[in-house]
Structure 1
Amino acid sequence: MTSRTATRLIGALAVPALGLGLVACSSEEPAKETTGGNDGNQAATQLSPQEAVAAAYQGLDEDSYKMDSSVTVDGLDFMVMTTEVEGENARAVMDMSMSAILEASGEEIDPSMAALFGDMHTETILVDGTAYFQFSGGMFDAMTEEYGADAWFTMDMGASDLAEIYEQIGSVDLASQTELMLKSLENVEKTGDNTFTGTLSADSEAMKQFNEASGATAAETEDIQVTVTLDENGLLESMVMALPETEGMTMEMTSTVVETGGDYDIAAPASDNLHDFDSFLGGSGF
């Protein structure tokens, strides 16, 4: 596998080790009236399909919830993640099986690039405006050796430019991206009970962020179909989409809200081994 191919795959597939955990930072806009038992359901039914889908993610911010997400590559599990959100606090635990890329591509890699394709584990905690990140496995092995297995990297969210951070690590904030995708859907139609389908245009703002991460252009990307299911109160229940084909491999992303109203006891890590996030950027090779 060439260096260019590997770099493009990492950019497109090493999905948001950072951004996936920042669900609570997705929007400051007030949610539309889509919640509240039967009243919420009635309000949702009065919205057009386009409006109902656009409002579905924002409404989750009114309560705590747990979301399971996954990305498959040619049907193989590439990423699995669980996110818990409670008020302004959030926690996300993610495992990425980089070996799935190798199996799906059927290619061998240069031994010097083997570290890029080691399986990785990340955990992100957002508490009181501070984000804590822990990384292990794969490309992060050297950092674990240097800082210790209990090391956490911190970032003051109030003073941070997230867009610049994501640009540096070749990633996107999938939380904000999810909401942006729902708002960017075109030709949204109701295709079943609480089920909607829409098209995400190749030149939409949401797709531009994916393209920037992977190095692709709008001309290389096709429109994709997204299926969205809402619960009885008009809140997002699940979203399934086929991501743009990368290097001949087909990816599918699924996010499912598995619980609302839970108590997740989200707190800062019980570790004194804390480091500024700039140490991560400086030591990760990004």
Structure 2
Amino acid sequence: MPVVMPRYLAGAVAVPALVLGLAACGSDTGAEPGEEGVAQLSPEEVLLASYSSLESESYQMESVVTMNGIDFLEMSTVVEGESSQSSQSVFMSAILDAAGEDLSGEPELAGMEAMFSDMHTTTIVVAGTVYMQMSGSLVDTTEAYGEDAWFTIDLTEQGDLDEIYEMFGGFDLASQTETLLTEITDVEETGDGVYTGTVREDSEFMQSMVGAAAPTGPPEPASDDTVDVVITLDENELLSTVEMIFPEIDGVTMHMSSEIVDVGGEYGIAPPDSDNLHPFEDLADAMP
């Protein structure tokens, strides 16, 4: 029974965070708007400039991922300089609803119901420290660590983000941003401030996204299908929206939409007001 679609499940969680990385990490490639006329830049260079320009701004991004029109993931993120705060809700039951599956009629799968309960994550990055709080689904930490538990990573001590992400299942947004920008093909301006392109499913970028949640590494590429990417810029040539439409698998089509809803705000990002702090390595002990 195709209850879980591992490739899309990993990708759905990863994509909105990755898009945030696109906006926040920027790039050293390409010119800033104003350094040379936008008309003189290639479509790829215009997109690079829109990312790098956001790097100096504070902003808020909202992201939604749907499966056959059913909300699967909602994410809200604010960024101020080197600080950020993100809240993410994953509605795991959407996987079953979109696929038309019902576990209640199959007793041998009843134990999987916890896997398909909602999952909530809050992540704060302040002064080189990452604070993460998780609840729901198979990652509820309340029983092991009590209420309001936060798990921390000291980036100044860890140093290498690649090793951190490899250890806990994820990817370095900065390096994956560079990979995505390298692998987007057929980029063209299709309207005023509207750009389209594609990324192959067997590309390094897509495989890294999928492999982020796979403990044994990414699977073999399933096809050479492409994922469509649509990016719009605002009147200041800053990133405004990003949309990705994934090829249908087992009758399920995923759609991701992210939008910068505010630029230049003050968001008061600060460490959590809690003494219940634990090293991120301890998070594994809270897993069933």
User: Is this a same-fold pair by TM over 0.5?
Assistant: yes
Deviation at 1:116, TM superposition (A): 1.3
Instruction: Name the residue aligned to 1:151.
Output: 149
Q: Tell me the secondary structure at the aligned position of residue 6 of structure 1.
A: coil
Q: How does 1:34-73 map to 2 (within 5 A)?
A: 34-35=32-33, 39=34, 43-73=37-67
Instruction: Name the residue aligned to 1:132.
Output: 131
Instruction: Name the residue aligned to 2:79.
Output: 85
Q: Partner amino acid for 2:86?
A: A
Match of 1:264 among 263, 267, 277: 267
TM-score (ref. length: structure 1) = 0.84
TM-aligned CA distance change 1:198 to 1:148, over 3 Å: same
Instruction: Name the residue aligned to 1:283.
Output: 286
1:56-82 CA-partner distances (Å, limit 9, x unpaired): 222211111111111111111110111
Deviation at 1:23, TM superposition (A): 4.2
Q: Tell me the secondary structure at the aligned position of residue 95 of structure 2.
A: helix
Q: How does 1:120-199 map to 2 (within 5 A)?
A: 120-141=119-140, 143-158=141-156, 159=158, 161-172=160-171, 177=176, 180-199=179-198
* RMSD between superposed Cα atoms in Å: 3.0
Q: Partner amino acid for 1:146?
A: A
Q: Partner amino acid for 2:144?
A: E
Give yes or no for contact 1:16–1:174 (8 Å, CA) kept in 2: no
Give yes or no for contact 1:244–1:251 (8 Å, CA) kept in 2: yes
Q: Tell me the secondary structure at the aligned position of residue 267 of structure 1.
A: coil
Match of 2:231 among 216, 228, 232: 228
Q: How many residues align?
A: 278
2:101 is the counterpart of 1:107 = yes
Deviation at 1:234, TM superposition (A): 1.9
Give yes or no for contact 2:58–2:78 (8 Å, CA) kept in 1: yes
Q: How many angstroms apart in 1 are the aligned matches of 2:20 and 2:240?
A: 19
Deviation at 1:25, TM superposition (A): 10
Give yes or no for contact 2:28–2:52 (8 Å, CA) kept in 1: yes
Deviation at 1:102, TM superposition (A): 1.0
Gaps of 5+ in 1: none
Give yes or no for contact 1:69–1:254 (8 Å, CA) kept in 2: yes
Q: Which has the higher contact order (CA 8 A, sep 6+)?
A: 1
Instruction: Name the residue aligned to 1:243.
Output: 246
Q: How many angstroms apart in 2 are the aligned matches of 1:21 and 1:282?
A: 30
Deviation at 1:180, TM superposition (A): 4.0
Give yes or no for contact 2:25–2:174 (8 Å, CA) kept in 1: no
1:171-191 CA-partner distances (Å, limit 9, x unpaired): 445676456434421111110
Q: Partner amino acid for 1:207?
A: M
Gaps of 5+ in 2: 104-108
1:12-68 CA-partner distances (Å, limit 9, x unpaired): 256149956984996475475435xxx37x633321112112332222111111111
Q: How many angstroms apart in 2 are the aligned matches of 1:50 and 1:73?
A: 29
TM-aligned CA distance change 1:204 to 1:21, over 3 Å: closer
TM-score (ref. length: structure 2) = 0.84
Q: Partner amino acid for 1:65?
A: Y
